[in-house]
Structure 1
Amino acid sequence: MIRNILILKDSVLYLKKNRDLLEISVNFLNELSDDYFIITKSFIDLKNENLTFNEESFMNVDCIVTIKPSSDSIKKIDGNILVDHLDRNEFKKITYPIYIQKNSLISYLGSTDCIWNLKDALKELTFIVELT
């Protein structure tokens, strides 16, 4: 079993240990020997995922994100007026799992009081898209 998987619940990251979920803190992360972590919303989401990636990809970035086709409706808005419905098949969205370097995760969580927000994290961290 991969031991560096973090589960996201209500903007807080947890590490599964036996049957318990341990809330992540910066001090806790510093004690772990892992160089990177995989953030996901549940273990069920990982069953069909290929969790391998090229670790050399981390040379110049903080994290590696995955994308999938958008299932949401996409609208073009000008001011407060809906001007067009766009084809959702032409858009992708960033989703979990996310691969992140330990030091980058510690830095981000230290600046947010250990609250994880994907949108804010990607504004602060450098990332590349993992092509599947």
Structure 2
Amino acid sequence: MKVKRESAAVFSALAIAGAGLLATAAPAVAAPATTASVTATAQNCASSRLCLYTGVNFTGSVQVIAGTNFCAAPAASGSTRSIVNNLSVPVRIHSLGAPVRTLPPGASDNDITIGAGGRMCAGSATP
């Protein structure tokens, strides 16, 4: 009986220790990879720049533009799918010459489509 009691005590101690490890491990669950990579990539757009990406979630080729008074066509592939405005001025997004949206300084959009007829204008520039 003495062996059984000691074994039971050892198993109880292991169970308690194991439960403690599980309880401390639970908060260490990582955020989804897509959220982390979106945030990290969006932050790669330097200060005082407008970054136009060919893919959603700030992926693909990037076109980086500096300045505060310009109009730019979509990224080199003919379509911009995500955008980061780190300029000091708002960026107006135009489609076929008409403004459709304004992206304020510091804002971004990770899933937008600006096609070949679109333009992004900063400052007082117009398409």
TM above 0.5:
no
Flag the structure with more relative contact order, 1 or 2, with Cα contacts below 8 A and sequence separation at least 6: 1
Q: TM-score, normalised by structure 1?
A: 0.27
Higher strand share: 1
Structure number, greater radius of gyration: 2
Q: TM-score, normalised by structure 2?
A: 0.28
